[in-house]
Amino acid sequence: MPKPAILVARAVFPEVIDKLAQHFEVEHNQADEAWSREQLLAKLQGKAGAFTTGGERIDADLVRACPQLKIVANMAVGFNNFDLPAMTSAKVLGTNTPDVLTETTADFGFALLMATARRVTESEHYLRAGKWTKWSFDMFAGSDVHGATLGILGMGRIGQGIARRGAHGFGMRVVYHNRSRLDAATEAACGASYVSKEELLRQADHLVLVLPYSAASHHAIGAAELAQMKPTATLVNIARGGIVDDAALAQALRERRIAAAGLDVFEGEPKVHPDLLTVPNVVLTPHIASATVPTRKAMAHLAADNLIGFLVHGKPLTPLNPEVLA
């Protein structure tokens, strides 16, 4: 029997291509070319599966145009590039990569929080520019992380990982807001208390955003929300671009209405709002929260195992719309 054909839309670890090639006819993109939507559609013709990384929009038009497509395996925990209802109607399975990146992403959330509060990159740029000629008492004085109030918006697995680090590692008071409140045992394990969104904005010394992107969370932090935060507060976004109104944030940072921000994700990335590039009190990183070699390998293997699990054995590991399997 011929092997099913699949498309790997972006460059990935060669070992993952080798693994997939044991089961499939693989068309890959190891050159990591930027394909247009039309190119993606053309390459998907006749493919039973696709390996994506979050940048490829899988919507009603695409699934209609690719009738042989049975599964799209995202190498990401987030899946806002999927129109899941449209995929389900077309009986296309979507999978993501939960769990394997939780701790690594929580580590990075904390790294970005520390870098932002303690002005690590701003001071490094100053030093590299040869501007450091003498020590002074208030040079790059930031805000404390230990003992401060950590606010978390979105309390899924990654939010809980950040809460545990804050409560147990840094003696922080942790407050969170989420669509649904956690059970008491999970709250206790995270050392976190539930508050309203307004209270979260008002109380947090450091606010970390970890909620999924959807129409409902678009601009969840805009000018009105920033105005409710402390002028000494820091804001960290490791969730998705679009959750923060980047123009409003740049203005708030410039006017020092909040102290600083750390951003790993941006509206319309890889483009970054030009105003964010000119304010000094923001730490900017290129969507790398899950980027350690072991974690990216675990994500890539899980996406590959979803393709193999479904197309070869009928059993995906982490389906998002399992109703397709019924």
CA torsion sign for 84, 72, 9, 317 is positive
Q: Is 290 in the site for ligand DGY (CB under 6 A)?
A: yes
Q: Is 283 in the site for ligand DGY (CB under 6 A)?
A: no
Q: Is 78 in the site for ligand DGY (CB under 6 A)?
A: yes
Residue 125: which residues within 8 A CB-CB, separation 6 or more?
A: none
Distance CA 233, CA 202 (A): 10
Stretch that binds ligand DGY, among 56-64, 72-80, 132-140, 149-157 (CB under 6 A): 72-80
Task: Count CB-CB contacts under 10 A for residue 6.
Answer: 27
Residues taking part in catalysis: 240, 269, 287
Stretch that binds ligand DGY, among 13-21, 71-79, 130-138, 164-172 (CB under 6 A): 71-79
Using alpha carbons, list the distances in angstroms from residue 304 to 8, 133, 268.
10, 53, 27
Using alpha carbons, list the distances in angstroms from residue 134 to 127, 130, 138, 139.
11, 11, 12, 9
Stretch that binds ligand DGY, among 76-84, 147-155, 184-192, 303-311 (CB under 6 A): 76-84
Q: Tell which one of 8, 63, 73, 77 touches ligand DGY (CB under 6 A).
A: 77
Closest to ligand DGY by CB, 78 vs 222, is 78
Residue 106: which residues within 8 A CB-CB, separation 6 or more?
A: 158, 161, 162, 164, 165
Closest to ligand DGY by CB, 32 vs 255, is 32
Beta strands in 238-280 (DSSP E): 260-263
Q: Among residues 286, 320, 287, 291, which one has the least CA distance to residue 303?
A: 320
Q: Is 54 in the site for ligand DGY (CB under 6 A)?
A: yes
Distance CA 45, CA 17 (A): 19
Q: Is 101 in the site for ligand DGY (CB under 6 A)?
A: yes
In the complex, what is the shortest distance from the CB of residue 312 to ligand DGY, in angstroms, rounded to a whole number?
Answer: 24
Closest to ligand DGY by CB, 76 vs 155, is 76
Q: Is 295 in the site for ligand DGY (CB under 6 A)?
A: no
Which residue has the CB atom at the shortest distance from ligand DGY? 78
Residues in contact with ligand DGY by CB under 6 A are: 54, 76-78, 101, 290
